[in-house]
Amino acid sequence: MTSLTSSASFGAALQAAHEAAGAQHYPGGTLYAVATPIGNLADITLRALHVLQIADAVACEDTRHTQQMLRAYGIERPAAQLLAVHQHNEAEAAQAVVARLAAGQRIAFVSDAGTPGVSDPGARLAAAVRAAGHRVLPLPGASSVTTLVSAAALVDDAGGAFVFAGFLPARGREREAALRLLAAEPRAALLLEAPHRIEALAQSLAALGARPVTVGRELTKQFEEIATLPAQELAAWLVAAPQRTRGEFVLALHPLARPAAGGAEPALDAEAERVLGLLLAELPTKGAVRLAAQITGAPRNALYARAVALQQAAPDA
């Protein structure tokens, strides 16, 4: 979190929250999924502050972290009103939350940062609450994913559409399979990564060659850094400055390049050419093109056009 840790800083915000949101209806027997800041405490909404004050209990990913956050806003909660709901106990803890909702309580749920249920815990809790017939009421706010999207300029013919991949699998084969799918995905793709694995991810993404990637590090915090560069240069960028491998990361793979209408196909880089040539020696054209696209991230249409050109130029057997 940012250095805004004095509850006095938010006294006016709490009053504004009461005046702006207090007259709205907040039914009992409801789970309130509350988005919280991803780094800068000032990125809280007035409605979130109000609900965190009036809720009968706050379910949270880490009780100590949430207690610190609440106190920064000037909100005091006894330990008994903080319920631990994290990835290791979410299914079991959900039943305790459901029991409180059945008794008519308002329960706010927060993750350590951002919007619950996106990559943090919350999805299983929301499913259990809905299955029990209770309402889940979302309070929108900060999200590392949409924060990076707003700055990454992910513009293409699809109007900026993107897919959310989250954290890739940590294991070798599953991770390689996920990376192959990303390489073949024509839309932009959003990834999350922890600091201890960011260099390994950068090395894996190097296979995408010149495909642009926007990396967001420590978003909304004092040392926030956002950079766009070719995927093949990401590993070198990270190690160019000691602080760049620290903090939390969000990455956006930009859409695969599309040729302009009536224009020439985009040129393939050397790695895509090499992979395509090797595959064409062993496989039919369509199969070689499909695998080359998955491995290199190069556009299929460009690969196919190049494959046809190579075959036409080859001497007769």
What is the widest separation between alpha-carbon atoms in the chain? 83
How confident is the model over 81-125, as pLDDT tens digits?
A: 999 999 899 999 999 999 999 999 999 999 999 999 998 899 999
Contact 237, 227 (CB under 8 A): yes
In degrees, rounded to 5, the angle at the alpha carbon of residue 235 between the alpha carbons of residues 222 and 115 is 45
Residue closest to 85 by CA, chosen among 108, 103, 104: 108
Q: For residue 96, give both structure tokens.
A: 């305790």
Query: What predicted TM-score, i.e. pTM, was given to this entire model?
Result: 0.78
> C-alpha distances in angstroms, 210 versus 82, 164, 230, 234, 276?
48, 21, 5, 10, 16
What pLDDT, on a 0 to 100 scale, did the predictor assign at position 281?
87
Segment 272-311, tens digit of pLDDT: 888 888 898 889 888 888 898 888 888 887 887 788 777 7
**Residue labelled with tokens 């109000």:** 50
The residue-averaged pLDDT of 19-33 equals 97
pLDDT digits 0-9 by tens, 3-15: 445 566 899 999 9
Q: Is the dihedral of CA 242, 226, 233, 174 positive or negative?
A: positive
What's the whole-number mean pLDDT along residues 42-65? 97
Mean pLDDT over the full length of the chain: 89
Cα–Cα distance, 220 to 275 (Å, whole number): 40
For residues 4 and 72, the answer to whether their CB atoms sit within 8 Å is yes
CATH of 145-253, one of 3.30.950.10, 3.40.50.170, 3.40.30.10, 3.40.50.1820: 3.30.950.10
Q: How is residue 217 written in tokens?
A: 């590090």
As a CATH number, domain 7-142 is 3.40.1010.10
What mean pLDDT is predicted for residues 187-201? 94
pLDDT of residue 157: 53
Q: Decide if 285 contacts 311 (C-beta within 8 A).
A: yes
Q: Is the pLDDT of residue 239 over 50?
A: yes
Q: Which residue in the block uniquely carries the two structure tokens 């062993």?
A: 282
Q: Which two tokens stand for residue 262?
A: 């009536």
Residue 158's pLDDT band, with cuts at 50, 70 and 90, is low
